[in-house]
Amino acid sequence: MRRVAKVGHPTLYQQVGHPIYTNRQSALTSGPILLLAVFGLPFSRGATKYAMASLKKGLHNCYFCYGQPPSAVSGKVHFFSSRYPRLAGLDMLLRLREEYRPWIRFTLWCVWALPYLHYRAARDNRFPLPMCVAR
């Protein structure tokens, strides 16, 4: 006779993938792009755009880990800036989205901010997150 294990409520890991994996995956895909932007800074005029894209992707993935309702980038920036004063420089992202200009200081700041953002998201949340089942 074959025994079948009882399955409890499905977790988020079982439905859409483990959030910490999503967070790590974001760090692994955004990190090299950001480092390429920093090392190519003297040769590339688009380094700031690459840094902006990496930071925006990291913001989105870390915001997902907190279980907040969908929001625009400005809402995510406000959420993390108010929660972590060390990330107050996220306002630079919003200023650059309104009026783009190459900015070396922002690109170099992203090298520190992106790993810190992922570290805080992984530290503050318990994984796997339970899946909410609507009835």
Q: Which pLDDT tens digit goes with each residue over 77-118?
A: 999 999 998 887 899 999 999 998 888 888 888 888 988 998
Task: For residue 13, report the phi and psi dihedrals to the nearest 5 degrees.
Answer: -60, -40
Mean pLDDT of 29-39: 65
Q: How confident is the model at residue 125 (pLDDT cuts 50, 70, 90)?
A: confident
Residues 66 and 125 sit within 8 Å (Cβ to Cβ): yes
This prediction has a pTM of: 0.66
Torsional sign, CA 72, 111, 64, 125:
negative
Per-residue model confidence as pLDDT tens digits over 52-81:
888 999 999 899 888 888 899 999 999 999
Nearest to residue 119, comparing CAs of 65, 76, 73?
65
